[in-house]
């Protein structure tokens, strides 16, 4: 990714910690601290797609929700076009939210079952542009429906009358209706069939090219992430362990955790697939309430040493490729 492009989003040392009530029998016991996100930095450039991957419980969705303001950040900065969103007043933050929209994981659950799809897509317009007439709103809604592949004559139907893929198109239309600069896609295809996944991903790519959108694309499916992303962030237990341009990261993963993830990606060629070596991770994901000291990956890392327990690595390198490991040079 060329760094001469405009930086839309600059997240610095973002932390999201939750207080968990103590189960101790002793009164006045201090609550535990769950470190869902524990100091992650990213930069998102204009028109690019940043993929975010990692196993369940690594903090991907919490990280995305903290960026957009659905979860309150404990510490750090979320700088949008040069201004820290976390320090904005409510009125200023509301205006910023027009440029930052989100597509959710469960397409049907994210839509109000009591509203028609026309009202669902129009809701952001009515919130931010109350001066628009009903005719203007309806015309914009129909135009957006056509853009995402929905027929205008279904505008008065309800979400339960549509398939999962169609419901996700409704969610995409709702996110696009305000002409945002960035959309966060929180596992938008994980609840869909494989054939429908491809349609939704291709739709997002087409709309991105047409409108010049920036995307933060969260997914478990590494093949989908490779197809749509310009750069990829790999997260583990609330930490960024590796980031780089998609082609380079997939071709030459540096961090042991990234290598394990990449080795599990199916290869279309049966001969290569049978002959490849999968790097298995031992043990389970540690609890974010009581993470390991030093490097959070050391309890499952085949290269861990005594030094890894004492020193927490910082991510080092460039926008092209960076890694958080004491034993890896970039």
Q: What is the pLDDT of residues 59-94, one digit of tens each?
A: 999 999 999 989 999 999 999 999 999 888 888 888
Neighbours of 293 (CB within 10 A): 13
Contacts by residues 133-139 (CB-CB < 8 Å, ≥ 24 positions apart): none
So what's the pLDDT on residue 25? 54
So what's the pLDDT on residue 26? 63
Q: If pLDDT is split at 50, 70 and 90, which confidence band does 28 have?
A: low
Q: Which residue has the higher pLDDT, 29 or 197?
A: 197
So what's the pLDDT on residue 272? 66
pLDDT tens, residue by residue, 85-130: 988 888 888 888 899 999 998 888 889 999 999 999 999 999 999 9
Residue 61 belongs to a domain? no
Q: If pLDDT is split at 50, 70 and 90, which confidence band does 191 have?
A: confident
Q: Please answer whether residues 152 and 145 qualify as being in contact, where contact means their C-beta atoms are separated by less than 8 angstroms.
A: yes
- Rg of the chain on CA atoms, in Å: 21
Residue 305 belongs to a domain? no
- Determine the average pLDDT of the residues in 126-142: 94
Q: Considering its fold, how many domains does the chain have in total? A: 1
Give which of 34, 19, 31 is closest to 237, Cα–Cα: 34
- What residue numbers bound the domain in which 157 lies? 110-173
Residue 167 belongs to a domain? yes
Indicate if the pLDDT at residue 269 is higher than 70. Answer: no
Residue 131 belongs to a domain? yes
Residue 147 belongs to a domain? yes
Residue 245 belongs to a domain? no
Give which of 50, 52, 49 is closest to 63, Cα–Cα: 52
Q: If pLDDT is split at 50, 70 and 90, which confidence band does 280 have?
A: confident
* Residue 166: both structure tokens together: 């169609």
* Residue-averaged pLDDT of the chain: 89
Phi, psi at residue 147, to the nearest 5°? -65, -35
Indicate if the pLDDT at residue 2 is higher than 70. Answer: no
Residue 93 belongs to a domain? no
Q: Which residues contact 165 (CB under 8 A, 6 or more apart)?
A: 107, 192, 193, 196, 199, 200
Direct distance between the N- and C-terminal alpha carbons of the chain, in angstroms, rounded to an integer: 17
Residues in the chain: 330
């Amino acid at each position: 990714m060329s760094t001469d492009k405009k930086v839309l989003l600059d997240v610095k040392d973002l932390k999201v910690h939750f207080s968990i009530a103590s189960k101790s029998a002793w009164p006045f016991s201090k609550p535990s601290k769950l470190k869902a996100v524990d100091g992650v930095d990213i930069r998102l450039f204009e028109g690019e797609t940043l993929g975010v991957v990692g196993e369940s419980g690594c903090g991907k969705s919490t990280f995305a929700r903290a960026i957009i303001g659905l979860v309150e950040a404990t510490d750090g900065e979320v700088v949008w076009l040069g201004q820290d969103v976390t320090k904005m007043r409510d009125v200023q933050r509301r205006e910023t939210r027009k440029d930052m929209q989100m597509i959710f994981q469960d397409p049907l659950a994210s839509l109000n079952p009591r509203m028609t799809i026309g009202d669902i897509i129009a809701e952001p317009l009515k919130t931010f542009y109350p001066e628009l007439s009903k005719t203007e709103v309806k015309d914009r809604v129909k135009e957006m429906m056509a853009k995402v592949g929905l027929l205008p004559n279904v505008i008065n139907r309800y979400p339960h009358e549509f398939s999962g893929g169609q419901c996700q198109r409704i969610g995409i239309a709702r996110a696009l209706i305000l002409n945002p600069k960035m959309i966060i896609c929180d596992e938008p295809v994980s609840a869909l069939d494989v054939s429908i996944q491809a349609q939704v991903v291709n739709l997002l790519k087409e709309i991105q090219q047409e409108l010049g959108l920036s995307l933060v694309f969260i997914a478990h499916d590494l093949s989908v992430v490779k197809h749509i992303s310009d750069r990829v962030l790999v997260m583990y237990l609330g930490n960024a362990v590796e980031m780089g341009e998609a082609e380079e990261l997939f071709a030459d993963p540096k961090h042991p955790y990234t290598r394990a993830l990449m080795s599990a990606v199916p290869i279309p060629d049966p001969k290569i697939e049978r002959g490849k070596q999968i790097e298995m991770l031992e043990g389970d994901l540690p609890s974010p309430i009581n993470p390991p000291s030093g490097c959070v990956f050391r309890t499952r890392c085949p290269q861990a040493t005594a030094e890894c327990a004492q020193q927490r690595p910082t991510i080092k390198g460039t926008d092209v490729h960076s890694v958080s490991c004491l034993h890896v040079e970039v």
